[in-house]
Amino acid sequence: MSDAQILFDRAGSAGIITLNRPKALNALTLPMIRLMAPQMKDWAADDAVAVVVVRGAARPDGRPAFCAGGDVRALWDEREDPTSTLAAEFFGEEYTLNREIFRYAKPYVSLIDGVVMGGGVGLSVHGRWRVASENTLFAMPETAIGMLPDVGGTYILPRLPGLSGTYLALTGARLKAADCLALGIATHFVPSAKLGELTEALSQVTAGAGADAEVEAVLNRFSDAAAAGTPQITQHLPTINACFAGDDMAGILARLPVEGGEWGAGVAKELSHKSPTSMVIALRQMRIGGSLSFEDCMITEFRVATRIVRTHDFGEGIRSVLVDKDHAPVWSPARVEDVDPAAIDALFAPLGNRDLHFD
């Protein structure tokens, strides 16, 4: 396979995008974004293209991966350079690509075979069809690195059943295919071994007004939701809805062991390792996102993301997880009760002429 970070192919009527950084679990880079965005526009204007399929290259050992997130290490490397424009460029172009996917006029099918986190979620969940496999592992783990659940998390997570989106945003909980189907994160389940055959069938779809219905029929023919197994998260939804209500992060932490029993106590312990500042940010996202348009959600995320990369917790989170790998971050402040509301307000404030704008 080519050494290019992202590959574009035509197979019949299908435009096929392959994320091609398998040693990095296909983590998304700015050059990949800058190649993918214009290619999608070209295919949107090409009458011979019926459907766009996005997938990830398999790892060197053959195990599948979709996309493990964005290349946040590059942002960490430039965090102390006051002249760096990388954050504004990366997030601005990534979020614009997310919006292109959300508004895409043609069928867009993501084959989420393997890990799908962070930036990979932004490349998949906003498309109309999301195909999970037995290898799917979904998460929005940003609170563990002092970041925020972005790439449209402000839009999609509050729209999941009950308060499951709040739970996912705060905890970074990992979901397999059955849970993704139960929550609507995935639309279909197809065994990994059949994804090649599925892609071939999609490449035979006739371009034109009937393409949506034909793609749906192909996916339904291959899909076997029962084979995904039994979802685990549904049994916890009543507890999630009770414990994750309200706008007060400290209140959520207090309720979990009281109202959530042993499971809730375990969740509370997990949250104790997350950045308090990131959790307060994520909770606000979940409370405001349900009433915002997709574009306004992305503008909000851009404001926070371009500022948060210069904060202590982002630097400490990346250091502990990706640099030193000691997984022992020292957050500041260390408790949600000590997070300054004014500091959070400042992160969400408009950027004036530096705000994100869409064509």
Q: Give the catalytic positions in this structure.
A: 70, 119, 142, 150
**Do residues 228 and 182 lie in contact, with contact meaning Cβ atoms separated by under 8 Å?**
no
Strands 51-56 and 129-132: unpaired
Spatial distance between the Cα atoms of 329 and 338, rounded to a whole number of angstroms: 17
DSSP string, 184-196: TS-SEE--GGGHH
Q: Which amino acid is at 130?
A: R
Cα–Cα distance measured from residue 22 to residue 59, given in angstroms and rounded to the nearest whole number:
5
**Facing residues of 115 across strands?**
137
- The residues facing 189 across adjacent strands are 132
Q: In 3D, which of 165, 118, 160 has the Cα closest to residue 137? A: 118
The 8-class DSSP code of residue 233 comes to G
Which residues have C-beta within 8 Å of that of residue 294, sequence separation ≥ 6? 99, 102, 103, 126, 152, 155
